[in-house]
Amino acid sequence: MTDFEDNTPLRETGMAPVTLLGAALFLILIWGSAFTLVGAAVRTLSPEWLVSYRMIIGAALIVTYSRLIGHRLPPLKDVRWLWYTVIAITGTSLPFLLLATSQKTVDSGLAAILVGTMPLITILLAHVFTTEKLTSMKLIGFLIGFVGIVILFLPKDLTLSLVSDWKAQLLILLGSFSYAATTIIASRSPDTPSPLAAAMMLIMGAGLSTIWAALTSGPPPMPDKIALYATIGLGLGSTGIATITYLWVIDMVGPSVLARINYFVPACSVVLGVIFLGEALDWRIFVALFVIFVGVIISNMGRSAKTSGL
């Protein structure tokens, strides 16, 4: 199933396509603004405690939602806790920390563009660890996307030296790699209802993040007003409500629509960063965003062609 025209309930309900469009726009805004909120929060709050706070808020919301729709957490001896502990590390705690740390020096829009390389990294990991092998279209898409990454690492004069914050940008790419690895791990995890899986993941992520923050940054601080609002927005928004919306969209139309939604997140983040954080516009950002976008599109075309052939 690739879009809502193929879904009978959506055809039969006149408001459903409008509702789906609203959900898509909401996800674009909430995911795009997440980078802006992180950029605002890390100006006064340590990355470690920012991750801990947003995970605790998000976990509380998701666990409540999961219980309300009838799911109960399994006993601790259930092997799924081990699976979702690993997924919590690779899919939330580690990438959240890498992104928050890097955004002390990297603009939010640039961070979103680099995270947007996740589908390109995923196709390489899938080639190695799954039966989904590289096709010529996927390889071409990856190479084009890689050119976009190179553009972001080169200075404005396009000499062969690296930008001054290349180490921070590399942290973002490691976070993108972590997200990509999570998709491979999650595909092999035990069958679990999505809301319950999200609850288990965020519970473990919140616990691990809080322990790490206490060990590395001392007692939990009280954020200033801006950091506090940003943290609450991250916990309730991109970590909590967006996850619930994300699960609803998947139930309605399948995961392919989510891929299309993600195409617009970096652009949204760039605009919000300029408006609210005063980030500068750089021509390289627009060029790299376009090149990476084309690379992701082409790589997904390769996947769609293979799927349609089945």
Cα 27 to Cα 19: distance, rounded to the nearest angstrom: 12
The whole-number pLDDT of residue 285 equals 86
Please tell me the distance from the alpha carbon of residue 153 to that of residue 166, in angstroms, as a whole number: 6
User: In angstroms, rounded to a whole number, what is the distance separating the alpha carbons of residues 35 and 103?
Assistant: 8
pTM summary value: 0.86
Query: How far is Cα 138 from Cα 142, in angstroms, rounded to an integer?
Result: 6
Q: What is the pLDDT of residue 95?
A: 96
Q: Identify the sign of the CA torsion 10, 18, 258, 70.
A: negative
Which pLDDT does position 22 carry in this prediction?
86
How high is the pLDDT of residue 204?
A: 97
Rounded Cα–Cα distance for residues 149 and 288 (Å): 7
pLDDT of residue 158: 62
Q: For residue 302, what are its two tokens? A: 């390769």
Q: Which residues have C-beta within 8 Å of that of residue 278, sequence separation ≥ 6?
A: none
Alpha carbons 44 and 33: distance in angstroms, whole number: 18
Each of the 310 residues of the chain gets a pLDDT tens digit; together they read: 333 334 444 444 444 666 878 888 999 999 999 999 999 999 999 999 999 999 999 999 999 999 999 999 999 999 999 999 999 999 999 999 999 999 999 999 999 999 999 988 998 998 999 888 888 998 999 999 999 998 888 877 666 567 888 999 999 999 999 999 998 998 889 999 989 999 999 999 999 999 999 999 999 999 999 999 999 999 999 999 998 888 888 777 766 666 678 888 999 999 999 999 999 888 888 889 999 989 988 987 755 544 433 3
Residues 6+ apart with CB under 8 A from 196: 66, 71, 73, 74
Residues with Cβ within 8 Å of residue 74, at least 6 apart in sequence: 80, 81, 196, 200
The helix/strand/coil state of 191 is coil
Report the 10 Å Cβ neighbour count for 9.
Answer: 11
According to the 3-state scheme, what is the secondary structure of 43-105?
CCCCHHHHHHHHHHHHHHHHHHHHHHCCCCCCCCCCCHHHHHHHHHHHHHHHHHHHHHHHCCC
